[in-house]
Copies of this chain bind each other. A is one copy, B any other.
Amino acid sequence: MSKLRFSITMSLDGYVAGPSQSLKDPLGVGGEALHDWVVELAAFKEAHGQKGGVVTASSPIFQEMFQNVGAEIMGRGMFGGGPGAWTPDWKGWWGEAPPFHMPVFVLTHHARDPLPMRGGTTFHFVTDGIESALSEARRAAAGKDVLIGGGAKTIQQFLAAGLVDEVNVSVVPLLLGGGERLFANLGDPAPRFEQTRVVEAPGVVHLRYRVAQR
């Protein structure tokens, strides 16, 4: 069955970005180190047109993140170029050939025509909320999974609405001391998670949970 899921890296103290996010520090002060475990992987480098890298217990975790995914949803913050009305020449952080290769649905308050890019990515802009974005993404995914790319606020909205099926959290031994918390604003009662898999890898542990349906 088609699942709605996300995969994100969190510091041991619960943050997915450090304090004082800015254009210079999009992941906040110290936040870039969250992704040390992934950027060194051969699979990551290959996906970004680079050579080299290592193979670790994290490699299959990185690869399955995109396996059987037919569409992605992201927040306006992750797509960038905001806040506010669109500057037409803003086409995301990823250049002319973004690494998604699938339809991507961007949650925004500002309507915009779809933006086809090279390599199979088309950005669609959804202005009427998360359920509408999910229903469009599911249709585009045609039976495959839908991935929530981020950021934290987008993930929180889907969790609080009880729409997420599977959660992948990669916990790294960083203490960022502030920034953007992942598990906050989850509603009352909060979603109930069931631990389904743990993978130990160098400098990170990958935790997978199934979300119990209400």
Contact = CB atoms under 8 A, between A and B. Distances in A.
Interface of A: 12-14, 169, 171, 173-177, 181-184, 186, 188, 190-195, 197-198, 200, 203-205, 207, 209
A71 B21 CA distance: 43
Given A13-B183, A14-B14, A198-B198, A190 B203 contact: no
B12 A13 contact: no
Given A200-B198, A205-B207, A177 B173 contact: no
Contacts of A205: 195, 198, 205, 207
A152 B96 CA distance: 49
Given A171-B171, A175-B186, A198-B200, 8 more contacts: A12-B183, A12-B209, A13-B181, A13-B184, A14-B14, A14-B183, A176-B190, A177-B188
A147 B204 CA distance: 25
12 contacts: A12-B169, A12-B193, A12-B207, A14-B14, A171-B171, A173-B195, A175-B191, A175-B193, A176-B190, A195-B205, A197-B200, A205-B205
A205 B173 CA distance: 14
